[in-house]
Amino acid sequence: MSKWLTTLKETKIIPLIAVNDLDQAKQMMQLLVEANILVAEIGFNQPNSSQILTALKHEYPEALFLAGGIIQQESAALAIESGADILITPSINPKILKFAQNNDCPIIPGVNTPLSLEMALENNISLVKFFPAEASGGVKLIKALNSVYPNITYIPSGGIDDSNIDEYFAHKNVIACGTGFISETKQIQKGNWRLLKTRIKTIQSILKYT
């Protein structure tokens, strides 16, 4: 098993940092590190996403950084150049899949239908992002898909917080969950660090029993 996959399984959550301010991103990452969460997804839909990823990778070389929201090959190239360990796409994009594989960069594509699952399998990918999780049917859809595609493993993302994360981990094929609950953009921008610390502790207490 690859080191990055082991890290995801052990950490269980992938906090999404989606801000355009480097200082705010650094402060959020510091909260995560203090909680021994050495994983973060950097949303690549901000003007400064590349600079933020590069800076965080330099400051926290031991952490695993995923570049999320990749929808163009140019963004994929920039993310890899900026230090991304893994690419995450919201859907199956054959060009981006091929580009990532040609550059030896792990990629986790987004799926939520049988067709998209089969496209992933055709590209030798069995770990996928289930997105948008809650809007697509949540755990019920994962169970239904698993009955036909039992070898697929999932990282659900979208609408996951302290009220439902345990439901996802009740499914054996879920290895981690993406969440913005503990790194909510508007709370970062407001500087509500105490609230975010509380959310981190809440999620970690739930994960102890999953």
The three-state DSSP-derived secondary structure of the chain is CCHHHHHHHHHCEEEEECCCCHHHHHHHHHHHHHCCCCEEEEECCCCCHHHHHHHHHHHCCCCEEEEECCCCHHHHHHHHHCCCCEEECCCCCHHHHHHHHHCCCCEECEECCHHHHHHHHHCCCCEEEECCHHHHCHHHHHHHHHCCCCCCEEEEECCCCCCCHHHHHCCCCECCEEECHHHCHHHHHHCCHHHHHHHHHHHHHHHCCC
Of the listed 129, 167, 197, 201, which one is catalytic?
Answer: 129
Active site residue 41: yes
Tell which residue, 141, 130, 148, 149, has the closest CA to residue 91.
Answer: 130
Active-site residue 9, yes or no?
no
Catalytic residue among 9, 26, 41, 190: 41
Name the residue type at position 75. S
Residues labelled as active-site residues: 41, 129
